[in-house]
Chains A and B, each alone.
Chain A
Amino acid sequence: MKQFSCPVEIDSNQIITLAHGSGGRLTRQLIEDVIKPALANVRLDPLEDAAILQQFEQTAVMTTDSYVISPIQFPGGDIGKLAICGTVNDLAMMGATPLYLSLGFILEEGLHIAELAAVVQSISQTAQAAGVAIVTGDTKVVEKGKGDKIFINTSGIGARENTCKIGTAEIRSGDKVIVSGDIGRHGVAVMAARDPQAFDTPVISDIACLNHVVTALIEEGIAIHCMRDLTRGGLATACIELAQSSALQFDLGETTIPVEEAVQSVCDVLGLDPLYIANEGRFVLIIPETCVERALAVFARFDNCKAAKVIGEVTEDKPGWATLRNAYGVSRKLDLLAGDQLPRIC
């Protein structure tokens, strides 16, 4: 595959102005100089009002998501990588192969064009690694103070086998719950990036596109009942949602859930629960017990999934509940949080 690069030297003093969003000459120049060279492909290049896609023989799957992270750079990634991984992962979780993405920028006046170029470069690399093409896009500029540097929306289209039924309706009592790696890294890395003076941690975001590992699981013939990527509300929120959608119980074992020591330390100091901390490259896989061994063997082939573990099972006992059994055998109900977790006073 062709290695994308940004051929135009960016003047480090150049900033985004309202004129870049006017639809006129500067808009065109921004697209031609900064965005298009990095993302070039046959469907994007004509820069028509809409992209022409192939006719699907398989079932088309579509999703959309918006990205508003601050700061736009964090250990392990940036808003560009996030905008690709997030949408690719939503498609992958439905068993679809991600194919095409749209890319909508809302830029704040005063943003350095070099910062935008770095984000576009990151988008290019992440999309290339995931095997998806950016086929259409849009750029708007808002006045200074009306945005936060860069907001991105990506919509994605993928294709999945017509017979594929992956989804919450397929979850069965007796299924096993596997998490694809250790949890909580993304949230802690972003928190540290937001306030580098307040605490220093070596934690790097888990951000990653998950479509390749999902494809490998499907190719291995694993009978996938359901998948869910762990995003804002963390592992706990994902399992609560799955329990409610399936009207079954998700019974998790606290000691089996992988949490890196550095993440656990930050959580203990600030009074946060890693179960509710954001991830951007982790998912739970719900499969029949008979497939567990083969699934773990597939995970072991992927660097970011080597810590994958069975963390619980699905039962009929308490429909709609996610529960957590601790090291002492005490089980408690997991509940949705009222809002973001906030650092504790003492």
Chain B
Amino acid sequence: MKYVDEFRDAAAVRHAIDTIAGIATRPWNIMEICGGQTHSIMRHGLHELLPDNIHLLHGPGCPVCVTPAEKIDQAIAIAMQENTVLCSYGDMLRVPGNNRSLLDCKALGADVRVIYSPTEAVDIALSEPEKQIILFAIGFETTAPGNAAAIRKAKLQQVENFSALVCQVTVPAAIDALLGNNDFEIDGFLAAGHVCTIMGFHQYYHLAEKYQVPIVITGFEPLDILAGIEKCVLQLESGQHSVENAYARYVTEQGNQPAQDLLQEVFQLDDQTWRGIGVMPNSGLSLNKSYRYFDAEQRFSTVLGDLDLSMSKPVNEACQSGLVLQGKIKPDECPLFGKQCRPDKPLGATMVSSEGACAAYYRYAAS
């Protein structure tokens, strides 16, 4: 398949692995931020092919994983109301909140629909004016413009029965928080290529400088990931710490300006809770003043005010998903991994989504 096969070529992958092995003289801890990259690394077995001194740490970039359980509880509480339709990306459905998942709630009679594009939710609102349509707007900067476009469309077309339950998170804030944490050493970062397609990479310069780490913009196919690792190792071996672009076929320094303008128009930076990690300042996006009319939390405040969290399941204290999300341990180092905690009964954030590091380790366990 064009534009895919050439980035999965077996001989080229072996050559790239040999190159990395040839230049890495010391152990290096390199974190890939994005869950899509973790998934690709595990699926293609790159972690098994790399030399032993390259340690890949899996970062917090799985939007489904880091969406707080309370936000899912809110989505469920709204969806359980009469005459509401909750529209969500597919992989959010199985993720449990404190009590239930959206799939459970669908089984109980709620109208929960999987959408492929956020604007579908606005179209549903237009075609079913007697119902309240809620877009579960989650994700990183990758999905934020799509969600923003849907919300703006609703405003332009005065779709009053549409609202958005927003839980947007941002990558640079997460990198800042991880590196600011002194008890752990991350030598270099592979930044998420699709986030940078939107946001560019100018915002990483000060992070690379502040923490003296190389940050390499990296794609998702095996050769993209290996190219990112190679550039990162080359910098580390020569004592450099700059921002480098290993995904130039999509990413430019300034990114997608119209998409950024759209984000600016609809959202504002806000503090955000990350599942498994906690609150990080300025790490999320919320609707700004001119779009607050479409805020589902406000529109359904009566329902959400009644939300009974007293039934919350106690978090299994042995669950170490927070440490996994921060790259402090590998998924299979958690004592619950694959035993009490599996994709069909996940205990932690990183097992709940197919893109989470624990789920990827479980699914792609080496034989």
A-to-B contact residues, CB < 8 Å: 195, 197-199, 261, 264-265, 268, 270-271, 318, 321, 323, 326-328, 330-333, 335, 337-339, 341-346
Q: Is B38 an interface residue (CB 8 A)?
A: no
**List of A residues within 8 angstroms of B367 by Cβ:** 318, 321, 323, 331-333
Cα–Cα distance between A321 and B366 once the two chains are bound (Å): 12
Q: Does more than half of chain B's interface fall in helix, strand or loop, or is it mixed? A: mixed
User: B49 interface residue, CB < 8 Å from A?
Assistant: yes
State whether A271 touches B362 (Cβ < 8 A). no
Contacts of A339 in B (CB 8 A): 94, 103, 344
| CB-based contact B45/A271 at 8 Å | no
Q: Determine which of A199, A264, A335 lies in contact with B363 in the assembled complex, contact meaning CB atoms within 8 Å.
A: A335
Contact between chains at B114 and A342 (CB < 8 Å): yes
Tell me, yes or no, whether B227 is within 8 Å of chain A by CB.
no
Residues of chain B within 8 A (CB-CB) of A318 are 367
Which of chain A's residues has its CB closest to B89's CB? A345
Per the bound structure, the CA–CA distance linking A250 and B366 in Å amounts to: 15
Q: Please, which residues of chain A bring their CB within 8 A of the CB of B366? A: 330-333
Q: What residues on B are CB-neighbors of A345 within 8 Å?
A: 63-64, 89-92, 138-139, 143, 355
B140: chain A residues at CB < 8 Å are 346
Contact B363 A344 (CB under 8 A): no
A338 & B44 in contact (Cβ 8 Å cutoff): no
CA distance A276 to B5 in the complex (A): 21
Q: Is A343's CB under 8 angstroms from B139's CB?
A: no
Binds A, one of B7-15, B289-297, B312-320: B7-15
Residue interface mask B1-41, A partner, CB < 8 A = 1 = 10010001010011000000000000000000000100000
A198 and B312 CA atoms in complex are apart in Å by 36
Contact call A198/B117, Cβ cutoff below 8 A: yes
Residue among A331, A342, A343 with most chain B CB within 10 A: A342
Name 14 extra pairs, CB < 8 A, besides A330-B48, A343-B90: A198-B115, A271-B355, A328-B45, A330-B366, A331-B367, A332-B365, A335-B363, A338-B344, A343-B116, A344-B89, A344-B354, A346-B139, A346-B142, A346-B143
The distance from the CB of B314 to the nearest CB of chain A, in whole angstroms, is: 23
Interface string of B130-153 (1 = CB under 8 A from A): 000000001110110000000000
Which one of B90, B114, B366 has the highest number of Cβ atoms from chain A below 10 Å of its Cβ? B90
Question: A165 to B222, alpha carbons, bound, how many Å?
Answer: 45
Of residues 157 to 212 in B, which have CB atoms within 8 Å of A's CB atoms?
A: 194
Min Cβ gap B196→A in Å is 13
Pairs A–B under 8 Å by Cβ, sample size 26? A197-B123, A198-B116, A268-B1, A270-B116, A321-B367, A326-B44, A327-B10, A327-B13, A328-B10, A332-B364, A332-B365, A333-B366, A338-B342, A339-B94, A342-B90, A342-B91, A342-B114, A343-B91, A344-B36, A344-B89, A345-B89, A345-B92, A346-B63, A346-B139, A346-B140, A346-B142
| Given the contacts A271-B354, A328-B44, A335-B363, A346 and B36 also touching, CB distance less than 8 Å | yes
Chain B residues with CB under 8 A of A346:
36, 63, 139-140, 142-143, 194
B60 at the interface (CB under 8 A from A): no
A342 touching B1 by the CB < 8 A rule? Answer: no
Nearest A residue (CB) for B146: A346
Interface presence of B322 (CB below 8 A) = no
How many angstroms from the CA of A198 to the CA of B94 in the assembled complex?
A: 21
Beyond A328-B49, A331-B367, A344-B355, whether A338 also contacts B343 by CB under 8 A is yes
